[in-house]
Chain A
Amino acid sequence: MEWKQYRGSLIGGLVVISLFAILIYNNVDWRACLEPEAEGFVLSCVAENTSAWYARYGVVMRQATVSGLLIGGVYGLVALGLTMIFGVLEIINFAHGALMTVGLYITFILFDTFGIDPYLGLFITVPLLFFIGLIVYRVVIHPARDAPHHNQLLLTLGLTLLIENLLLMVFTATPRAIRLDYGRGETNILGLFVMQFPIRIWRAVITFDKLLAFLGALVVTAILYTIIQKTDLGKAIRATAQERDGAALVGINTDWINMITFGIGTACVGAAAALVLPFRPADPTAGNLFNITAFIIVVLGGMGNAIGALLGGLIIGLTQELTGIFFPGSPDLIGVFVIFILVLLFRPQGLLGQAA
């Protein structure tokens, strides 16, 4: 494993740290300490001021940190799907987020119409999205395998418009939320023990559904990582990603691998969808946010790199929540885009670089 693979994450990490720094700098009253009549040493004055600020606003920062990390896990999972597809097919699948939206609506229907719990529904959503992925690959992606890159981008863009607006026509723009009847107050965990939700760690609030989303994303990522690293299928996928012609030469059906990879990548967003629906209502464009963040994470974390995807996910989650403090109100992606452009500029070769 080369450190170069993690250069993007490093840049991202630096941005996060500077966000923290700016946050503290902007809120602590330094200048008062430089006034002649300031009491005591400058340093102790600053320390005092800082701790006073921290006592007042620290909780906001800690909450942002915790929320950022939690949602970051899910971002990482979505990005893992995207990075696999990119690694093997060299296609930037712009429809990744739209497919996640499909997953959200499937989870919603399962819950709303059939009363199936979303977490239990994972066992339906994930295979279903896998098959949708296979079909999408066959019908839309495969015929344009040899088209120029930007045309493939365009293709998945067209697919996005198709999916989004189909959903808009069928379900309208009204957000569809579900409400779990557990996970607040005393909650029995699989009959093993009882926990109080929301949890408070470090005085930050962690709700049941977000915690579960985070843990679920980690579990799915781990499973996928094992599949990629340990199984024959995983080896074939990695071989195809690294050296398509060579893989074909040793008898790997690369076309088949393409299709399976697209299916697995799509299954990832199926899992992510089921995990986030309890706190992120479905609407026809709900997947967009995950789509954009996934791109950036893929750029950050390196191609086909599961650990990079997770790391990138956490960084992007943090960045997003922290910039949320700077620009309160709308879910703000400015910081995320800044990272994106920085990384694009400073390690474009890493984008095209080694897979798996």
Chain B
Amino acid sequence: MTISRDYQILAGLTLVFAILPLFANQFQLTLLITLLYWAYLGTAWNIMGGYAGQFSFGHSAFFGIGAYTSTVLFLNYGISPWLGMFVGAGFAALFGAAMGFLTFRFGVKGHFFALATFAFAEMSRLIAQDSDFINSTIGLTMPIIGGDSWSQMIFEDTKLYYYIVILGMLIVATMISIWIYRNKLGYYLLAIREDEDAAAALGVDTLRYKIIAVAISAAITAIGGSFFAQRFGFIDPALVFGVSISIAVLLRPIFGGSGAIWGPLVGAIFLTPMEEFTKIFVRNPPEFLSFMKGRAGFDVLLFGVIIIIVVIYMPDGLVGSIPQWLERLRRRLRGQSQSATQEAAR
């Protein structure tokens, strides 16, 4: 029953996103690709940070591993990114599982776990910067092929193809997310998030399931990293292993509602256009704000403000908070009408 409803929503959304590009110009298409891309990464983060409640502040490690693996395999060995991205996913899953094992085994929890993930991500960045075989700080550049190639996943002329790829990725990721949420794995992850001791007492092998969550999340994230490398055409350690990726990845699910299936997508639908418009705004600010012209930082500053507002005023994200707001509104309206009838009665 409920299962089919989630998939119905997914089917509806797929239809909408399949039709949208027909009406989109180049700019809007780019915006759409970016939107789906962040929704995809947010969905990956959500499995670990939202469902299992293991707040990751270091997803750039998985992202970077994915980006570098597929790119190195492609550039050095001519292996198609379609294959390479799964190799990267495997590496990232292994890395995530190892990291999870180490930290969980020793009982690192809560915000210390978040800091540990951050440390692991920073470490992988530093190691990447010092590794000559992946070109250290200089980074790797995709070749220019002068056209579109499905087998190499490089589309220089037709951006729509990237859109198709990322839409497909998002659909698959969402299906995985729905499946997890509605099955044993999801129930166990939520139980772990809510109370680990209680979960263990009910027979949940918490260590094992936490590691599984990290590995799945890492693998999906890594494929996102490969997509980034293909689309952007260039990667370096600061770009793909940097803190900004870790932050950006968790921003959408947190804003939309972490722990909810549709949180990351909702978050991306709100935040991505906002980000683009602030960029445009800064490029061409109105007269009285002209000092902002060309100044970097405003978009990220806004993110900072959004995070603060979300944490203080809507800790459950949009998906979680809107029903609460509606409820409160309804109660207030009803309360008013009640007091109105009381007035009348008197």
Contact = CB atoms under 8 A, between A and B. Distances in A.
Co-complex (A, B): yes
Interface of A: 92, 140, 143-144, 147-155, 157-166, 168-169, 172-173, 284, 292, 295, 299, 327, 330, 332-334, 337-338, 340-341, 344-346, 348-349, 351
- Ranked 10 nearest A-B pairs via Cβ: A158-B307, A161-B304, A162-B304, A165-B297, A168-B297, A165-B301, A150-B55, A158-B308, A345-B106, A155-B311
B107 interface: yes
B292 to A, nearest CB: 7
A351 B112 contact: yes
A172 B293 CA distance: 12
B160 interface: no
Contacts of B250: 154
B55 A153 contact: yes
A341 B102 CA distance: 9
Contacts of B126: 332-334, 337
Contacts of B301: 161-162, 165-166, 168-169
B272 interface: no
Q: Is the interface of A mostly helix, strand, loop or mixed?
A: helix
A337 B106 contact: no
B315 A151 contact: yes
9 contacts: A149-B111, A150-B55, A153-B114, A154-B311, A155-B312, A158-B303, A295-B115, A333-B126, A344-B108
A348 B114 contact: no
A284 B110 CA distance: 29
Contacts of A341: 102, 116, 119-120, 123
A263 B298 CA distance: 27
Contacts of A292: 122
A159 B306 CA distance: 10
Given A337-B119, A345-B102, A346-B106, A330 B129 contact: yes
Interface in B293-320: 295-298, 300-301, 303-308, 311-312, 315
B57 to A, nearest CB: 7
Contact of B312 (A143, A153, A284): A143
B109 interface: yes
A147 B55 CA distance: 14
Contacts of B303: 158, 161
A169 B106 contact: no
Contacts of B110: 149-150
B247 A168 contact: no
